[in-house]
């Protein structure tokens, strides 16, 4: 079995990033969303790979199969964003989600991030279970820091100490 490689995003990865994210958003969950509706992904180096942030891709046999972003929101806080894993590699066999999250958490600790937040939709039930299993607790929208980058579809929010 091939190994999953987690590595920082590089600009040539952009098509692979969209090939993972858009089918999940549109086909699996029915969101009418395009690449143009996600300007953060158009400028990953500026939006994510600045300050204490970073953006990673998971690769299997040269194909991007997962993504995760850490957005520095100031005051040693960060937002976890754009965590997506292609359906074909979900679950414990490949461990893509766990490897992505472990990479992000290690980076956050090494860079002095103390608190992490995330927003998601109430449709992503498996994601909720994953986040809760990994130390995230649900919070109210009003408990988010002002600097948290809200997405229009987000209606469920989580927090985790790092």
**pLDDT one-digit tens code per residue, 92-139:** 899 999 999 999 999 999 999 999 999 999 988 889 999 999 999 999
| pLDDT of 153 over the 90 cut | no
**Which of these ranges, 43-52, 61-70, 127-136, 146-155, has the smallest mean pLDDT?**
146-155
Mean predicted confidence (pLDDT) in 33-45 = 94
> What pLDDT, on a 0 to 100 scale, did the predictor assign at position 1?
56
Residue 4 predicted with pLDDT over 70? yes
What token pair was written down for 56? 């990673």
Give the C-alpha separation, 126 to 128, whole Å: 5
pLDDT of residue 34: 92
CATH of domain 4-115: 3.40.630.30
**pLDDT tens-digit map of 58-84:** 999 999 999 999 999 999 999 999 999
Per-residue pLDDT tens for 13-22? 999 999 999 9
Beta-bridged to residue 5, according to DSSP, are 59
The Cα–Cα gap between 31 and 45 comes to 25
- pLDDT of residue 50 exceeding 70, the answer is yes
Look at residue 152 in the predicted model and tell me its pLDDT.
83
Say if CB 85 and CB 100 are below 8 A apart.
yes
The full set of domain ranges for the chain reads 4-115
Rounded Cα distance, 120 and 143, in Å: 15
């Amino acid at each position: 079995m091939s190994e999953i490689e987690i590595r920082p995003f590089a600009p040539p990865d952009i098509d692979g990033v969209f090939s993972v994210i858009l089918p999940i958003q549109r086909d699996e969950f029915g969101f009418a969303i395009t690449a143009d509706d996600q300007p953060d992904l158009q400028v990953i180096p500026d939006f994510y790979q600045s300050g204490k942030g970073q953006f990673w891709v998971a690769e299997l046999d040269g194909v991007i199969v997962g993504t995760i972003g850490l957005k520095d929101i100031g005051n040693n806080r960060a937002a976890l964003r754009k965590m997506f894993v292609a359906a074909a590699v979900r679950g414990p066999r490949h461990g893509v989600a766990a490897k992505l999250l472990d990479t992000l958490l290690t980076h956050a600790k090494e860079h002095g991030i103390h608190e992490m937040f995330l927003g998601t939709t109430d449709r992503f039930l498996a994601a909720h279970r994953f986040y809760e299993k990994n130390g995230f607790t649900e919070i109210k929208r009003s408990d988010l820091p002002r600097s948290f980058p809200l997405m229009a579809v987000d209606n469920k929010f989580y927090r985790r100490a790092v």
